Amino acid sequence: MHSKMKQTVAAFAVAAAFAAPAKAELTGDLTIFLDTSNPAPRATMEEMIGRFGELHPGLSIETTVIDREAYKTQIRNFLTANAPDVATWYAANRMRPYVEAGLFEDVSDLYAEPEIAEAIASTKGALTIDDKQWGVAYTYYQWGVYYRKDIFAELGLSEPTTWDEEKANCAKIVESGRACYTIGTKYLWTAGGWFDYLNMRTNGFDFHMDLAAGKVSWEDERVKQTFMNWKELIDMGGFIADHQTYSWQEALPFMVKGEAAAYLMGNFAVAPLREAGLTDDQLDFYQFVKINPDVALSEDAPTDTFHIPSNAKNKEAAREFLRYVVSAENQTIINNGDNLGQLPVNANSSVDDDKFLNQGFDMLSNNATGGVAQFWDRDAPAEMAKASMEGFQEFMVKPDELDKILAKLERARGRIYK
Amino acid sequence: MFPKPIETRSASAQFAYKAMLPIALLFWLAPLLAVALFSIKPEADFTNANYWGLPSRFEGAVNYGQVFFNSDMPRYLLNSVFITVPTVIGAVALSCMTGFALGIYKFKSNLWIFFMFVAGNFVPFQILMVPVRDLTLQLGLYNTKTGLVLFHIAFQTGFCTLFMRNFIRALPFELIEAARVEGISEIRIFWYVVLPLMKPALAALSVLIFTFIWNDYFWAVVLTQGAESQPVTAGITSFNAQYRAAYHLMSAGSIVAALPPVAMFFLMQKHFIAGLTLGAVK
């Protein structure tokens, strides 16, 4: 009896070994640094790491959560001195300094794996520098125009797709005594969103990125054209008055009360608008309209990412963790409404049953062929982002001073990029 | 005497004074009232621009429930206690001794040492931010309650010494001389003669330092981060979500954070006012 039992166990062991030959058991330590310090995302990430840990019991995982703002200064330090095996960060230009300093591991091999290659193509561009990939995305969200459907219906308007339709709609909205768009530019970045879209639609994604990288003059005619388009909306009274005194949250009531018809904002604006009493029948979403028909549509979709530092000790386990993070099943869980409530990066994941997330997922998967930008203050260097967003705000208040503002930004460009 | 007592003014002036006072008070307290009001409002009131009106529905129980049961707030409150109480004890104990030494003994550099304690109070503390942060980092005390306590004790001792030294100076010196004639050791003079006489000063100073330290925000942000070490003043911002500021919860949290020093003030009002004036007039 006893020996028979042993035999069976041995047989099982052999069978198991043959069934999963590639999956070597992971062992050792895996240290993970997270910047998701707010309670809700923190819980989501810790649960995710818990599930990963259950799959790999041989691995002892140590998670450190660092305050989101403090993380931004500490990352320089720990990537060189005391590197974890996995660290959170942001895509595109925000990871460029660390990629160029050789502090992030090249993970192009992950993107070459068949089950990953197709599935996470939508964020591949944002993680590519010099034709190599330097990390994986774990969540992102769309930007676009959130508008009051009931006001549009009352005025007989439909979702615009071209610049002329957008302006015609706006003229009718202004005529009805409302502003077309609410915005609060007190903290500047909201104006950066408008600039992103107007410039990407006028001059295209590549030009926009060149401008962020300091390769184009601010006094270039093409940049002026972007501002001229913006000026058309400002001059017709499209934006709410005194927007420079409101934060983005303080600008929400204008939309709730129907004093403004639309808000160019990230998807995080939906939750407070719903809480304030707007139903899904009153609130809807459309992609920012085409301006220059020759330009492919590109979108703002700030992307949060995981990277493996070059100095990591357990890169094998770190890679397995990254595989798990982007897997369809995990992406479905962490991005659902109970957790992050954002868009999954894996095309095979199911998106939460939410009309805005579904529209955003569809838009970013199928209708953002020009590229995905990270948002102006992530794409441009911090100093230039600040100077330029101050310029955007000033322009929105005093549109006639454009030449002066652009000259100032051009001087800043000469100083900042060296 | 200035200001003139109001009773000596004309009847119309007195009436105007009585009428204006509540209005001035209302303006003065307006921000505080707004915070109190927000702490019982639902979040949607902010998005509806209902900043000053009555709450659309009473959410006080929900908001305060969130603060106490669904956030790190109790932890932060406890941190505040663990930072404030040792600081009060440490600073007051040290300054009793320095005050005794500087107030009783006549030695050569007495006045200069005293001036150094006083001069420390005139250093704007903001300029110490970077060196102190580096110091705590190198000592391995960054992001610990101990680091914050040690710094507060060091920094508060200057003011406390000024306060205590002046108080001890005002005591009748004959008492100490009499004790010395009896052949009592200096330590016992300090413990059995001077310390009992200092009780009002001890109470006043403790109350004052308690409120100073409890309300400190600057050093809490500079020297600590995260729920394991930050006091409540810095912890209030943890109610902010990644994209949104939760004004209703921050308001409720602020009210909770402000309660201990306010309670302290009302319970110990006599000592508090004594504390503000004791050190000032010699």
Same domain, yes or no, for A190 and A318? no
pLDDT-based confidence at B1, cuts 50/70/90? low
Domain-located, residue A6:
no
Do B73 and B67 contact (CB within 8 A), yes or no?
A: yes
Beta carbons of A249 and B48 less than 8 Å apart: no
Residue B145 has a pLDDT of: 94
Q: Is A252 on the interface with B (CB under 8 A)?
A: yes
Three-class secondary structure assignment of B19-86 = HHHHHHHHHHHHHHHHHHHHCCCCCHHHHCCCCCCCCCCCCHHHHHHHHHHCCCHHHHHHHHHHHHHH
Query: Which pLDDT does position A18 carry in this prediction?
Result: 43
Which has the higher per-residue pLDDT, A12 or A281? A281
How confident is residue A384, by pLDDT bands cut at 50, 70 and 90? very high
ipTM for the whole predicted complex goes beyond 0.85: no
Residue A2 lies in a domain: no
| Res B2 pLDDT > 80 | no
Across the range B140-158, mean pLDDT stands at 93
Q: Is the pLDDT of residue B282 over 70?
A: no
Specify whether A392 is located in the same domain as A249: yes
What local confidence, expressed as pLDDT, does residue B278 receive? 63
Calpha distance A36→A67 (Å, rounded): 7
A2-6, A48-52, A118-122: least confident range: A2-6
Out of A297-301, B120-124, B222-226, the most confident range is: A297-301
Residues of chain B positioned with their CB less than 8 A from the CB of A250: 49
Question: What pLDDT is recorded for position A13?
Answer: 45
- How far is C-alpha A293 from the chain's CA centre? 25
Residue A1 located in a structural domain: no
Residue A215 lies in a domain: yes
pLDDT at residue A374 tops 50: yes
* B169 near A CB under 8 A: no
Query: Touching check for B137 and chain A: CB below 8 Å?
Result: no
| Tokens encoding A171 | 């003229």
Contact A67 B226 (CB under 8 A): yes
Nearest residue of B to residue A69 by CA position? B225
Residue-level pLDDT at B265: 85
Cβ atoms of B43 and A249 within 8 Å: the answer is no
Angstroms from A316 CA to nearest CA on chain B: 31
In B, which residues are within 8 Å of A268 by CB distance? 242-244
Same domain, A156 and A277: yes
Q: Is A43 on the interface with B (CB under 8 A)?
A: no
Q: Is B43 on the interface with A (CB under 8 A)?
A: yes
Contact predicate B121/B162, CB 8 Å = yes
Contacts of A189 (CB under 8 A, 6+ apart): A248, A375, A376, A377, A389
- Could you say which architecture CATH assigns to the domain B69-278? Orthogonal Bundle (1.10)
pLDDT of residue A11: 46
pLDDT bin (cut points 50, 70, 90) of residue A347 is confident
Is residue B132 scored above 70 in pLDDT?
Answer: yes
Question: Nearest-5° angle of CA B50, CA B53, CA B59?
Answer: 75
Average pLDDT score, chain B? 89
Tell me which of B83 and B278 has the higher pLDDT: B83
- On whether the pTM is more than 0.90, the answer is no
Per CB-CB distance under 8 Å, the chain B contacts of A275 are 42-44, 47
- Is the separation of the CB atoms in A165 and A304 below 8 Å? no
pLDDT at A371: 85
Q: Would you say residue A282 lies in a domain?
A: yes
Do A402 and A261 fall within a single domain?
A: yes
What pLDDT does A37 receive? 77
Pick from A53-67, A104-118, B234-248: least confident = B234-248
- Residues in chain B closer than 8 A to A37 (CB atoms): 226
Is A134 in the same domain as A224? Answer: no
Answer whether A278 touches B (CB < 8 Å): no
From residue A106, give the alpha-carbon distance in Å to each of A28, A305, A309, A315, B227: 22, 14, 9, 11, 35
Give the per-residue pLDDT at A23: 52
Question: Nearest by CB to B49, which of A38, A257, A266?
Answer: A257
Best to test chain A binding among B45, B73, B243 (most A CBs inside 10 Å): B243
Give the residue numbers spanning the domain of A169: 143-300+381-416
Count the neighbouring beta carbons within 10 Å of the beta carbon of residue B191.
12
Identify all chain B residues contacting A38, using CB atoms and an 8 Å cutoff. Answer: 238, 240-242
What pLDDT is stored for residue A10 in this prediction? 47
A33 and A129, same domain (yes or no) = yes
Residue A169 above 50 pLDDT?
yes
Residues of A in contact with B243 (CB under 8 A): 266, 268
Distance CA A176, CA B106 (A): 85
Residues A127 and A70 grouped into a single domain: yes
Contact of A253 with chain B, judged by CB distance below 8 Å, is answered with yes
Query: A276 touching B, CB under 8 A?
Result: yes
Q: Which of A223-232, B19-28, B120-129 has the lowest mean pLDDT?
A: B120-129
Cα–Cα separations (whole angstroms), residue B205 to B4, B98, B256, B260: 30, 15, 24, 16
> Looking at residues B24-44, what average pLDDT do you find?
92
* Mean pLDDT along residues B74-82: 94
E strands, A136-212, where? 136-140, 143-148, 179-181
Query: How far is residue A110's CA from residue A96's CA, in Å, rounded to a whole number?
Result: 19
A286-308 pLDDT, tens digit each: 999 999 999 999 999 999 999 99
- Model pLDDT, residue B90: 96
Domain ranges of chain B: 6-65, 69-278
Token code pair at residue B217: 């925000």
Q: In whole angstroms, what separates CA A124 from the centre of its chain?
A: 13
Give the model's pLDDT for residue A22.
Answer: 45
Q: What is the mean pLDDT of residues A148-158?
A: 96
Residues A290 and A197 in one domain: yes
Joined tokens for residue A63? 């998670």
Determine, for residues B225 and A249 on separate chains, whether the beta-carbon distance falls below 8 Å: no
Q: Mean per-residue pLDDT for B11-17?
A: 90
Q: What is the pLDDT of residue B237?
A: 79
Domain co-membership, A130 together with A173:
no
On whether the CB atoms of residues A225 and A245 are closer than 8 A, the answer is: no
- Taking the Cβ of residue B237 and every Cβ of chain A, the question of whether any pair is shorter than 8 Å is answered with no
Please state the domain count of chain A. Answer: 2
Contacts of B72 in chain A (CB under 8 A): 39
Question: What average pLDDT does chain A have?
Answer: 90
Looking at residue A216, the DSSP 8-state letter turns out to be S
d(CA A212, nearest CA chain B) in Å? 24
Res A115: pLDDT: 85
> For position A32, what pLDDT does the model report?
95
Q: pLDDT, tens digit, for every residue of B84-98? A: 999 999 999 999 999
Chain B residues closer than 8 Å to A41 by CB: 242
Inter-chain CB pairs, A–B, below 8 Å: 50
**Beta-carbon separation of B48 and A253 below 8 A:** yes
Whether A405 contacts A391, CB under 8 Å: yes
DSSP per position, A68-90: HHHHHHHHHHHHHSS--SEEEEE
Question: Residue B32 is encoded by which pair of tokens?
Answer: 């505080």
Question: How confident is residue A98, by pLDDT bands cut at 50, 70 and 90?
Answer: very high
Same domain membership, residue A83 and residue A182: no
Tell whether A161 and A263 lie within a shared domain.
yes
Q: Are residues A289 and A319 in the same domain?
A: no
Contact assignment for B47 to A272 by CB distance below 8 Å: yes
Task: Write the pLDDT tens digit of every residue in A386-413.
Answer: 999 999 999 999 999 999 999 999 999 9
| Interface touch B245/A256, C-beta < 8 Å | no
Q: Residue A381's pLDDT is what?
A: 85
* pLDDT 10s digits, A199-252: 999 999 999 999 998 999 999 999 999 999 999 999 999 999 999 999 999 999
Q: What percent of chain A has pLDDT over 90?
A: 72
Q: Which amino acid is at B33?
A: L
Q: What is the pLDDT of residues A328-343, one digit of tens each?
A: 999 999 999 888 889 9
Residue B56 has pLDDT above 90, yes or no: no
Which residues in chain B touch residue A256, judged by CB atoms under 8 angstroms apart?
Answer: 47-49
CATH code at position A406 = 3.40.190.10
Residues 67-86 of A with CB under 8 A from B: 67-68, 70
Chain B segment 46-65 residues within 8 A of A by beta carbon are: 46-49
pLDDT digits (tens, 9 = 90+) for A101-152: 999 999 999 999 988 888 888 888 889 999 999 999 999 999 999 999 999 9
Instruction: Please tell me the distance in Å from B64's CA to the nearest CA on chain A.
Output: 17
For residue B4, pLDDT beyond 80: no
Sign of CA dihedral B210, B214, B217, B221: positive
Tell me if chain A has a CB within 8 Å of the CB of B121.
no
C-beta atoms of B47 and A273 within 8 A: yes
